[in-house]
Amino acid sequence: MRDAGMGSWARRRARMSPDQVAFVHRGVRTTYGQVQDRSNRLAHGLRALGVERGDRVAYLGLNSVELVLTMLATAKLGAVTVPLNTRLAPPETAFVLQDSAPRVLAWDEGFEQVVGSEDVASLGVLTVSVAGAEGHPSFAEVLESGSDEVLDEPVSLDDLFMIQYTSGTSGRPKGVMMTHANISWNVYNLIVDLDLTSHERCLLSAPLFHTAALNQLMFPCFLKGGTSYIESSWDADRALELIETEGITWIFGVTTMLLSLLRHPQWETRDLSSLRIVQSGGAPLPESLLQAYLDRGLMIIQGYGLTESSPGATMLRAHEGVTRIGSAGTPCFFSDVRVVTPTLEDAETGTPGEVLVQGPNVTPGYWQRDDANAETFVDEGWLRTGDLGTMDDDGYLRIVDRLKDMIISGGENIYPAEVEQAIYTHPAVAEVAVIGVPDAHWGEVGRAVVSLRAGQSASEAELLAHLDGRLARYKIPKSVVIIEELPHNASGKLVKNRVKEQWGHHD
């Protein structure tokens, strides 16, 4: 094949196991042979709409087989997929579209108001409706109109495969460029770390427009020839049902997702024996949550990474989970990690510093953002993550906090993640975010914003008293705000800047 990229994976897998089920979505089973046939036809159909090598094709919709087919078809043409965050408001979606300038925008039902908004419509992007909405070319028509002649464009591993836009928690979102090589090497890392087999049955319910579910589950499972159960969104009841009835072997969840399973009334009674891999990332997990899963015989495999590293950088393998609890593990096979001082020299063992990542899975840069590239890449291609971490004598990384989240109180550094872990040991706490607030005497002090477990109660005084003896006094927050629920983004991650905006003011 001349195609060395991700688009060729459908053809390569189809010639190995054409009748094996690749995807199950809404009860419909799609084989690898069908994936190759449909993505190939769709590629011809997109070409007929004017999509050429290097052009962008955007997709707006919840998890679906159509989203995956669009990615594979676009890759077969040497074009670039832009998966859109489904939770963005029309002006935010318009910004991403204007920045990436796609030739085609495919969109699914439920997003009529976004696509029809003046912000988006004024851009004049050709729109294709997955649901067959009136007045738009339909996805099915584009696919069915395509030839069955096998495409084999000369796509290089160094060609651009996808642009994934960051959540934009500070300023406008940036488009992270991902090459075919970036994704491929990340998948190879996963296969080494998790010992994947062709019998995996993975649950895809985290959004595929984010890097974790797409690159840490779907593509590795696809390469191995396993079956992905695609769910439009996360639902704990549905997840437990699928694990038991379909024999799911592999799930991914951020803290909120894994907590929702734990709180489910059937957590103790459902058959979870098929689960081999429970994977998490995005933020350190409370040790109480890790222990609750261990009590059910399930080790949560944690790792560290970010969109810019496709995303895997480190992994704490299953056999190390108990002895190294709280650690993010050691670098993945094809990744390298350093912890450095502000002058970019290696930090001493155990001393917090910024985490740098390098490897073939690291992005070549941000789309049309030379300024951001200059700030982010140092010392011949090392990626500055903006995360604070420590490295121990054995090379295990522990994430301390975000560099920008560190609180400096009276000249002392306070790492909110450490304080949050201590607060999580209180049995009534469901979720917590610790932020800095202005203080006339200390400059800045900590504040804990807490949500409680259903049916539980705790006062500010009780929570603060719980920390006495668990943390140095200067680390204990000066105030606690108890709310019903903390804000999260589409991937289920806590959005700390929104916590700061609402509760980070001086009393």
Q: What is the CATH number of the domain that holds 223?
A: 3.40.50.12780
Residue 487 falls inside a structural domain: yes
Residue 163 falls inside a structural domain: no
pLDDT (0 to 100) of residue 321 = 81
Overall number of domains in the chain: 3
Residues 64/25, Cβ–Cβ less than 8 Å: yes
The helix (H) or strand (E) run that includes residue 14 is: helix 8-16
Task: Show which of 380, 402, 424 is a domain's final residue.
Answer: 402
Do 334 and 357 belong to one domain? Answer: yes
Q: Is the dihedral of CA 396, 400, 402, 406 positive or negative?
A: negative
75 pLDDT band (50/70/90 cuts)?
very high
pLDDT (0 to 100) of residue 170 = 47
Place of tokens 């015989």: 297
Do 95 and 240 belong to one domain? Answer: no
Closest of 76, 4, 5, 3 to residue 35, by C-alpha:
76
Task: Show which of 376, 402, 428 is a domain's final residue.
Answer: 402
Do 456 and 320 belong to one domain? Answer: no
Residue-wise pLDDT for 424-462, tens only, equals 999 999 999 999 998 877 878 999 999 999 899 999 999
Q: CA 177 to CA 76: how far, in whole Å? A: 17
Residue-wise pLDDT for 141-150, tens only, equals 999 999 999 9
Whether 14 has a pLDDT exceeding 90, the answer reads: yes
Residue 58 falls inside a structural domain: yes
Which of the two residues, 168 and 65, has the higher pLDDT score? 65
Closest of 343, 348, 354, 345 to residue 389, by C-alpha:
354
pLDDT (0 to 100) of residue 35 = 98
Residue 102 falls inside a structural domain: yes
Residue 170 falls inside a structural domain: no
pLDDT (0 to 100) of residue 414 = 86
Mean pLDDT, all residues of the chain: 93
Residue 15 falls inside a structural domain: yes
Do 263 and 376 belong to one domain? Answer: yes
Residue 167 falls inside a structural domain: no
Residue 52 falls inside a structural domain: yes
pLDDT (0 to 100) of residue 409 = 85
Task: Show which of 156, 175, 205 is a domain's final residue.
Answer: 156
The answer, yes or no, to whether the previous bond of 311 is cis (omega within 30 of 0) is yes
DSSP H stretches of helix in 195-265 = 211, 219-224, 236-246, 255-263
CATH number of the domain residue 432 falls in:
3.30.300.30
Do 362 and 484 belong to one domain? Answer: no
15-24, 31-40, 309-318, 401-410: lowest mean pLDDT where? 401-410
- Look up the domain containing 41 and give its range: 8-156
Residue-wise pLDDT for 170-189, tens only, equals 457 899 999 999 999 999 99
pTM as predicted: 0.86
Do 359 and 265 belong to one domain? Answer: yes
Residue-wise pLDDT for 90-126, tens only, equals 988 999 999 999 999 999 999 999 999 999 999 999 9
List, as one string, the DSSP characters of 17-63. Answer: -TTSEEEEETTEEEEHHHHHHHHHHHHHHHHHTT--TT-EEEEESSS
pLDDT (0 to 100) of residue 507 = 62
Phi-psi region of 445 (alpha: psi -120 to 50; beta: other; left: phi over 0): beta
Q: What are phi and psi of 93, to 5 degrees?
A: -60, -40
Do 31 and 52 belong to one domain? Answer: yes
Do 351 and 445 belong to one domain? Answer: no
Q: CA 49 to CA 124: how far, in whole Å? A: 14
Distances (CA, A) of 115 to 102, 107, 382: 14, 8, 38
pLDDT (0 to 100) of residue 169 = 44
Determine the angle formed by the axes of helices 255-263 and 236-246, rounding to 10 degrees: 80
Do 83 and 113 belong to one domain? Answer: yes
Whether 376 has a pLDDT exceeding 80, the answer reads: yes
1 pLDDT band (50/70/90 cuts)?
very high
Do 321 and 442 belong to one domain? Answer: no
What percent of the chain is predicted at pLDDT more than 90? 79
Do 190 and 255 belong to one domain? Answer: yes
Do 146 and 203 belong to one domain? Answer: no
Q: CA 205 to CA 429: how far, in whole Å? A: 25
Residue 309, burial from CB neighbour count under 10 angstroms (0-12, 13-18, 19+)? buried
- Write down how long the chain is: 507
Closest of 66, 54, 162 to residue 106, by C-alpha:
66
Whether 478 has a pLDDT exceeding 60, the answer reads: yes
